Structure 1
Amino acid sequence: MNLFETIVIAIVEGLTEFLPVSSTGHMIIAERFLNVTETDFVKVFTVAIQLGAILAVVVLYWKKFFDFTKWQFYLKLLIGVIPAIILGLLFSKKIDALLESATTVAIALLLGGIVLLFIDKFFNKPTIENDTQIKPMNAFAIGMWQCLAMVPGVSRSAASIIGGMQQKLTRSAAAEFSFFLAVPTMLAATGYKLLKYYKDAGGFSSEEMKMLAVGNLVAFVVALLAIKFFINFVKKYGFKVWGIYRIIAGLILLFLIYKGYIQG
C-alpha cells in the first residue's frame, strides 16, 4: 500500500464512518478497486484509521466528553460498549475472515438498505430527545444492536442508530449517541488490533508508522465535516435516502463481483 492508496482509503473512512453506509465495507471496496494486497498490516490499517475519525467526535463534542461532573454519561458509554468487547474477543478470527469477503459486504449493504427505507416509519414515536434521558438498559440494548456491525457492510453507525430509535430515541439523539458510543468501541478495537499486530510482527516499520499517521490525520479532518453534514441531513430528511444509496451500492457491487471485476 502506497501513500496515495493510504490517503484514498482514509478519505473513504472519514466520509463514511458516521454515515449509515458501512465505512468498513466501503474501505474494502476501495481496496479492491485500488488492487491493494490484503496483508495483515492492511487489515490493521482499516481498523486503526477509524480512530482518527472517532477523535473528530471528541473534538466536536469536547464539552460533553470532558465534563467530569456528569459521570452518568461515561457509565452509559461503558455499559454500551461491553457487548462489542465481549463478542469481539470471542469471534475475532471469524470477523477477520468476513473482512475478506466483498460478497458479504454487498449483501449486507443491500439488506441494510431495505431496512433503512422503512426505519422512519417503524420507530416514529420517540420519547428520548437527548443522552441525559437515556437509561443504562437503553445503552446496553443499543450496544447489542451495535454488535451487528461486526459483519462488514452492516455499518456500526446504522446498527447503533437503529438500536437507538428502537429504544425510543429521536433520529438526532440516536445519531449523536451512536457517535458517542463509537469512541470507546473504536478505542478498544484499535488498541486490540495494534497490540496484536505489534506482538505478531515484532513492531511497526517506519513506513507503516507513516501510513498510520497520515491515514488517521486524513480520516480525522474529513470526519469533522461529515459529522456536521450528517446530523443536519438526518434532522431534515431521515434515513430513506441512505437506504436507497445502500441498495444501489449493493447491487452494483454484486454485479461487479459477478462479472469478475472485483473478487468476491
Structure 2
Amino acid sequence: GEFLDRLPLHVLRGVGLSPEGLERLRLLGLRRVGELRRFRPPQLLAYLREGKALLTYLHGPWRREVARYPLGEGVEVQAVLEPPAEAHEGLFRHLARRLSGRLAPKAAGRLELLVLAEGLAFRGEDWPKRPVRGEEEVYLALVRAFQRSGALGLLLEEVRVRAWDLALPATQEGLFRQGGEGLGPLLARFPGALLRAEMVDPGALAPEWGFRFRAWEVRNEALSPSPRGGLREGKTPVGGLPGPAEGGAPAGPLAGWRTVVAP
C-alpha cells in the first residue's frame, strides 16, 4: 500500500495509462498513485477511458506470490576430477570444447559455473557482452566465471557448466549477391586472372610467410561492400593488395603480380 501510494503517476503508463489520460490526471493536480487511489471505481471509470484496465492495479485484488522466471533452454557439461586437483587451463579448454560443440549452431548469453571443491559448493556466473559460441569465447567466459566463484586455489572435485539464454545469431551473407555470381563468366574468359589470399600464419615473422595465394573458386556468395577489404574484420589480408590499404598490412613480395581479390 504505502509503496504503491508513493509511486509517480507516469509508472502507470506501463499498465495501460495513455499519455492523454496522464495529462488529464495532471490537470486535476494529481502527482502520485496514492492520490489517484482515493478515487472510487465508478469515478475512475467515468473519468478515464482506460480506467477499467487500471482498477486491478489500484484497488486489487493483489497477490503476494511472484511468478518464477522461466530459465528456458539450456546446455550442460561436467567434468569429475579423480583425484581432486587445482584448476588449470587444460580443464577449462576441455569444458569449452565440449560446450561449444553442444551449443552449435546457437550461442549462449549467460554461463553458470558450479564447482564442488573440498566438500564445499561454489558458484560463478559470466554475462558476456555478446552471446558466445566459439571455443575460445566460451573458454574466456569460463575463466571469468571461475574467478568469480571463490574456488581459486582449492582442490576441485567436480565442475559443472551450464549455458543459458540460447539464441540463434542472425547472419547476413552480403548485400550484393550479383557481384559474386558475376565472377563465373569473368574467370571463364580470363582463367587464372584472380587469386585468393589465404591467411596461413597471422603471427609470422615476415609478412610474406603469413599468407599464400590460391586460385579463385566461384562460390554462391556475395562480395563484401566494405572498401577496406573482404575479411570479416574489414581488413586486407597480409600482402593481399598492391600498395598500402587502410587497416591492412604492408604489401607482400607478390603483390601487383596478378589481380588479387580478398575473400
Normalised to the residue count of structure 1, the TM-score between the two structures is 0.18
Higher helix fraction (1 or 2): 1
The answer to which structure, 1 or 2, has the higher relative contact order (CA under 8 A, 6+ apart) is 1
Q: Which has the higher Rg, Structure 1 or Structure 2?
A: 2
Higher strand fraction (1 or 2): 2
